[in-house]
Chain A
Amino acid sequence: MNRIWALAVNTSREAIRDRVLYSILFFAVGVLVLSLAVREITIGDQATVVRSVAQGSIDLFGSIIAMFLGVSLVYKEIDRKTVYTILSKPIPRWMFVLGKYLGLVLTLAIEVALLVALYTVLMLLQQSMPPGVVYLSMVTLMAELMLLTAWATLFSTFSTPTTAAAFTLAVFVIGHLADDIWLFGNQAQSEAMQTAARVLYWALPNFELFSLRVEAVHNRPVPWSRMWGALAYGAAYTTAVLSLAMAVFSRRDLK
């Protein structure tokens, strides 16, 4: 456990010292602050619109950082050959992948916590303390980011960052269209199309399951069954994808 933690902390430290991360974070903070300006040009329920834009920006930039850091997570270690001095120590391949992954999750958690703290301060200044459901939505957002990171990690174990980014983006987009794919499958005339849509639906993640944005923006209650269901789905799916990433990397020769 200590060794996994050492790998995770080192990965997180490396990511935190990466200047590109700050650039993305800077944009995220900028959009979050600018969301207040939206109030001035909005007719109607201004508070809801501000919350919606702010919440959306946290979701979006969280996903961008997860993809950006995840797609090069393992590849960069191989490309820069830093992996040689780690795997020649008593570190199994699965432990290396897990440690790197957890380091990235730790970084994402810090980043989301920072943005949520800023969001809270802005809301306190402009309106009032955000409702509890906002924080619940951040928990499910983290579950979504963990799953997205697991996919990025998997692609990173066998492809270049560009290819991994394309694959991860595809999973991200399809994952947010999962319900539409299901609908499309039901309405398709051809049986082949129906089968293809169902295979896609079940094989790829359904990121919409994690989204509590509407509830958070409109302060609607979230049934615990939905909350726990999303978290259990995320945990199971993340474990499966991460296990696959470990298996792929375990078979890889380091040339």
Chain B
Amino acid sequence: MTIDAGDVVIRTEGLRKVYRTGFWMRRVVGLESLDLEVRRGEVFGIVGPNGAGKTTTIKILTGLQAATSGHAWILGQPYDVPATRQKLGFLPERPYFYEHLSARELLDFYGRLFGVERARRQRRIDELLERVDLTRFADVALRKYSKGMVQRVGLCQALLHDPELIILDEPMSGLDPLGRALVRDVILEERARGCSVCFSSHILSDVEALSDRVAIIVKGRLRGVGTVEELIGHRVRYVELRYQGAVDPGGTLLREDDRGRVVRLAPDEADRAVAAVVRAGGRVLELVPVRETLESVLLDEVDAAAPVDEKRMGVL
């Protein structure tokens, strides 16, 4: 069933994936009733711990796995129809390519799979290899490439046909700072071109910096979605008070040095602690609010999703 995509490039409704594993074909839920929308022109980040369901979601969206139930649409078309992927660019996690081919041969092959006409294919290959600084190695077999170089070739194959939507699974994984910067630049350039980008990553600072909106998936369930600001909020997680004086204002002592003592306090304890230091003749040197981060929000969600017995046993 085709839907009117409008401003939505990815839509999932009740997407569920159950795997059968082991000799007894035990059921393992990989994804549970996922409802998601990625809007046209936005950079959408998916975060979650290992095994949360990020890659499962991406594999379903790219046609590599079938959903057990639920529906998904890519650019308004059902996800499981191959023609849907004509305008989709995809970079899998830790991509592997035919090692006997050179980057130019590989990209030419992929261009032909997309049906890109020969002259345009050659022009686009040259442009992209130049963009990722691989022109010098264009005719070298991929088996001689470093991991970072393979990742750059992977980016090229995802962008080869000027897609409307790009899905990247852990694109910064294993890259050095230069490689990460390149991936970040490419993502932002593609957004500027009007392309929508959906990517998963463990590197939360990159997700915070790049994403217009972020989805948090934990244990196969969507635990939150919104802008980074919406997810983090303006909440202060705790405050750090640095003071001098022989007084205990409460809270947890973090460190003590010749510049005084630093204690961690709950936000609503700050006023009382400051008053206590002043009353005892001490000096308040610094009061720093520590705000929520995407990492702390994610950790809270992981903690909240953990079964009670796991928490009790201190697994989390």
By a beta-carbon cutoff of 8 Å, the part of chain A in contact with chain B is 2-3, 6-7, 10, 13-14, 17-18, 80-82, 84-92, 253-255
Contact B65–A88 (Cβ < 8 Å): no
Cβ contacts under 8 Å, A82 to chain B: 96-98
Report how far A32 CA is from B253 CA in the complex, Å: 85
Contact B63–A7 (Cβ < 8 Å): no
In the assembled complex, 10 residue pairs joining A and B whose CB atoms fall closer than 8 Å, in A order, are A3-B112, A14-B101, A80-B96, A81-B95, A81-B96, A85-B110, A86-B113, A88-B90, A90-B113, A253-B64
Q: B59 an interface residue at 8 Å Cβ cutoff?
A: yes
Question: In the assembled complex, how far is the CB of residue A77 from the closest CB belonging to chain B, in whole angstroms?
Answer: 9
Contact A89 B114, CB 8 Å, known A84-B64, A254-B64: yes
Contact A85–B90 (Cβ < 8 Å): yes
Contact A85 B112, CB 8 Å, known A17-B100, A90-B85: no
Report how far A81 CA is from B96 CA in the complex, Å: 6
Cβ contacts under 8 Å, A91 to chain B: 82, 113
Tell me the nearest residue of chain B to A82, going by C-beta. Answer: B96
Contact B112–A81 (Cβ < 8 Å): no
Residue in contact with B157 in the complex, picked from A7, A85, A253, CB distance below 8 Å = A85
Q: Mark B37-63, 1 if CB is under 8 A from A, else 0.
A: 000000000000000000000010011
Q: B115 an interface residue at 8 Å Cβ cutoff?
A: yes
Report how far A29 CA is from B86 CA in the complex, Å: 45
Q: B92 an interface residue at 8 Å Cβ cutoff?
A: yes
Report how far A84 CA is from B101 CA in the complex, Å: 17
- In this complex, the interface size class of chain B, counting residues with CB under 8 Å from chain A, is 20 to 34
Cβ contacts under 8 Å, B96 to chain A: 80-82, 84
Which residues, 91 to 149 on B, are CB-close (under 8 Å) to A? 92, 94-98, 100-101, 109-110, 112-115
Cβ contacts under 8 Å, B285 to chain A: none
Report how far A82 CA is from B101 CA in the complex, Å: 12
Question: Which of A17, A81, A90, A92 counts the most B-chain CB atoms under 10 A from its CB?
Answer: A90
Tell me the nearest residue of chain A to B85, going by C-beta. Answer: A90
Contact A14–B59 (Cβ < 8 Å): no
Contact A10–B114 (Cβ < 8 Å): no
Question: In the assembled complex, how far is the CB of residue B149 from the closest CB belonging to chain A, in whole angstroms?
Answer: 16
Residue in contact with A81 in the complex, picked from B88, B92, B101, B110, CB distance below 8 Å = B92
Contact A7 B64, CB 8 Å, known A17-B100, A85-B157, A88-B85: no
Residue in contact with A89 in the complex, picked from B66, B101, B113, CB distance below 8 Å = B113
Contact A6–B112 (Cβ < 8 Å): yes
Which residues, 144 to 199 on B, are CB-close (under 8 Å) to A? 154, 157
Report how far A87 CA is from B86 CA in the complex, Å: 11
Q: B304 an interface residue at 8 Å Cβ cutoff?
A: no
Cβ contacts under 8 Å, B97 to chain A: 82, 85
Tell me the nearest residue of chain A to B64, going by C-beta. Answer: A254
Report how far A14 CA is from B86 CA in the complex, Å: 25
Contact B115–A3 (Cβ < 8 Å): yes
Contact A13 B64, CB 8 Å, known A2-B112, A89-B85: no
Contact B113–A6 (Cβ < 8 Å): yes
Contact A10 B109, CB 8 Å, known A87-B63, A88-B64: yes
Report how far A80 CA is from B142 CA in the complex, Å: 14
* Known A14-B100, A90-B85; 13 more pairs at CB < 8 Å: A10-B98, A13-B100, A17-B100, A80-B96, A82-B98, A84-B92, A85-B97, A85-B154, A88-B63, A88-B64, A89-B114, A91-B113, A254-B59
Question: In the assembled complex, how far is the CB of residue A15 from the closest CB belonging to chain B, in whole angstroms?
Answer: 10
Contact A90–B100 (Cβ < 8 Å): no
Cβ contacts under 8 Å, B246 to chain A: none
Contact A14 B95, CB 8 Å, known A88-B85, A88-B90, A89-B114: no
